Amino acid sequence: MAASSFQGNERYEFDCQILHHYLSGNGTINNQKLVDIFVHRSSFEFKLIRQTYAALYGQNVLHLFSNIQRNNPFARAAYLRMIEPQERDAEITRNSLFGGSVNLNTLIEIACTRPSSELQCIKQTYRSRYNSELEQDVTAKVRGGFKEILLAVLKSCRNCGGRVDMSMAMCDAKTLYEAVESGRTVDQKTIISLLSQRNSGQVKAILVSYKQLYGHEFCKSLKQSKCGQFGREVRIVIRCIQNPEKFFAKQLRMKNADAREILIRIVITRSEIDINDVNKAFASKTGSSIEKLVRRDFNNNSKDHKTNNIVADILIGLTKRS
């Protein structure tokens, strides 16, 4: 046991030396070793690397990368890989609310693609880091109908845990059907209430039950003209919960000014979760692959080609992890 522990420490000390050479500018930077670290280490191993770096150099390696990440895509990728997932998602959420104009796509991404148990941890971390409740900040910053829908999803994670109840799912599916079909207008209050009371796993079961009962997806019912803007907004959230890989693939296809940031964030946050499914969804719409997208967006023709090469190799490596 002692020998195994010592070998593990040596490994992380070597990783820290590689990182220190990059961050300090002293010594020869081994690009391939950098790539290997950020492709092959787990979240638990990054925790050990952070601890080892602090012991060796008396500095917080996360802070060092954070300080240079704004205009350095490698530092940004490194930071997102090394930080604890719930810390990362809390920070991404905070920036989407207070980083200028509100970024609804990013808010939806965090709220609707994370399992309820993870979302609960993100909310707790958000409260601890920013001394504020996420729901209160969403209430203050988000405008329009999306506010109530997002708040419902954020509240639903209080009900995380336990097995999926298929009998309840059948009853809830019937409730949704009545909310849309029984009147001349949509019963928005009932739909919002149900979304706020069922965790993500239970919502998925409701959607499966709905299709079994009525022969089509709930989202199809929401396309009726009487559903209006509310129906369009609920569809976005439902599809995100039901098929997160399609949501991420759509984000990658959008031509945004922050396309690189989105690409880095999606590949890193979905590696070891569903990046293969995201890649398939992306390919089905574009006939291409995330690897080709990475190579295009981080091509070698810029003045930062060395940094871009490292980022590209990390992202491509992560897309190939199963």
**Binding-site entries:** 25, 27, 255, 297
Residue 236 to residue 121: CA distance in whole angstroms: 24
What lies within 8 Å, CB to CB, of 63 at 6+ separation is: none
DSSP SS3 for 71: coil
Residue 120 to residue 20: CA distance in whole angstroms: 35
**Tokens standing for 98?**
């207070």
Q: What is the largest CA-CA distance in the chain?
A: 72
**DSSP state at residue 131:** S
Task: Name the nearest CA neighbour of 260 among 286, 288, 297, 296.
Answer: 297
Are 312 and 264 contacting, i.e. CB atoms less than 8 angstroms apart? Answer: no
Residue 235 to residue 320: CA distance in whole angstroms: 31
**Tokens standing for 31?**
């690009």
What proportions of the chain, in percent to the nearest 5, are helix, strand and coil? 75, 0, 25
Phi, psi of 29 (to 5 degrees): -85, 125
Query: Binding site for Ca(2+): which residues?
Result: 25, 27, 255, 297
Alpha-carbon distances, residue 124 vs 62, 86, 154, 158 (angstroms): 21, 9, 12, 11
**Tokens standing for 61?**
């390696």
